[in-house]
Amino acid sequence: MLVSARRRRLIGRPNTKATTMATMKASALERARNAKMRKLILVLICLALLLVYNAGIITDVSWSTLKIESSSSSTQPRRESLVRPKDCSNAQLDKIYSDFKTTLDSKNANKRFRTPIMRHTHCPIESWTKTFFENMRGDSFLGINVGCNKGLDAIEMARLLSQNSRFSVKDWNKLWPGKVAAVCGIPQDTLIRDNTPQASGKVHCIEPMPSTVRDLENTLRESQYEDSVVVTHAAMSNYSGTARFPNNKSGSEANSLKDCEGDSGNNTHNCMEVPVYSLDDYLHSQGIASSNNPIDILLIDAEGFDYEVLQGASETLNRVRYLIFEVHINGNWMKHSLVETIDNVLQDFTCYWAGKNRLWRITNCMNSSIKELYEYKSWSNVACVHQRETELANIMETTFLNQNPI
């Protein structure tokens, strides 16, 4: 059979249409396999989160804070995933209200100092911090004590964070000039287990009263704790500059910036000019403003000016693992809402009323009746954990749930 020249050329030419169709089909199959793989990975992630949720380790996840970084953006800072607790049940709300219920009387200051919240939380025993930090494995630590007074809490903080029995509140008391008295009693030295790894670091003891600072500096030298404890003479607020502060008997616990506001010519509080820092500015001045160095504990005892200290710590708070502060009838707390402070200033923390080995959650645990009780301020302590610190958060939430089951 004769074959034309054109037919012979066509027989030898590749079938481009068939090749293209095959390539498109293979590409479609590859896309389908990739889509199935992505769905499978998403399902596995959801199942893992569900298992963790049911185990009680995580109670809720703020999905808006989660971000998956591609390899091309690895140089960009990663946003942290924050774990928020779920809302309290009606039974828990009823239990909290029952524990704290009181007759509100804004004109009776003596009655304010007898409220159930004050009785439960004015002198907390923080067993949850001991449980967490004694098992923490780290080479360094950083603690900040605003309103350090006689240094008792600062020394106990150094002992807890370092896990070094060299730091002793008992020994510090022996060196302190005169008799040591404290409204909440003398802290007991944390028990240090044998062969516990030790850490090195600093605790900053910040105190505004000149007479107390003098005794702090003398006792620090005699104790030979200068390598780990820093005494700074300053008041803390939401600005940096100077202010007048009382200079009463060393170790006095009830004085604040309020005492010298509009002080008369007779200077009844013996007011003196002292340095003032915002917490953010203080960290910069000490060369410890690096975000790579977490603040393990921030303790604020500013006799009613705790809110202003928090206002001046917008950069600092993101580095804090554990925060404890006072809510007081004195100072400026009466001008501020505790609930709004926790919802806005401390939105990345889970906060609790801190009692003697007990916690009552405030974050996501609110109704109008409870809010009214919380704004009736007297003298109490609030403990907060940053929501990225899942291990400590779990310890604190378990402490809460033990007394307030769902």
Task: Give pLDDT, residue 293.
Answer: 85
Collect the ranges in the chain with pLDDT lower than 70. Answer: 1-32, 34-36, 38-39, 42-43, 45-80, 104-113, 180, 263-267, 291
Task: Give pLDDT, residue 306.
Answer: 96
Q: Express each pLDDT in 219-252 by its tens digit.
A: 999 999 999 999 999 999 999 999 999 999 898 8
Task: Give pLDDT, residue 23.
Answer: 52
Task: Give pLDDT, residue 178.
Answer: 80
In this structure, what token pair is assigned to residue 358?
Answer: 């007990």
Alpha helix positions (H), 143-229:
152-162, 169-175, 210-223
Distance in Å from the first CA to the final CA of the chain: 92
Task: Give pLDDT, residue 152.
Answer: 95
Which domains occur in the chain, in start order?
90-403 (3.40.50.150)
DSSP state of 81: P
- Rounded Cα distance between 88 and 404, Å, is 10
Nearest C-alpha neighbor of 161 from the set 294, 283, 288, 57: 294
**Segment (H or E) for 229:** strand 229-233
Task: For the sheet with 200-207, list strands across it.
Answer: 229-233, 200-207, 140-146, 295-300, 320-328, 379-386, 349-354, 359-361
- Rounded Cα distance between 271 and 274, Å, is 9
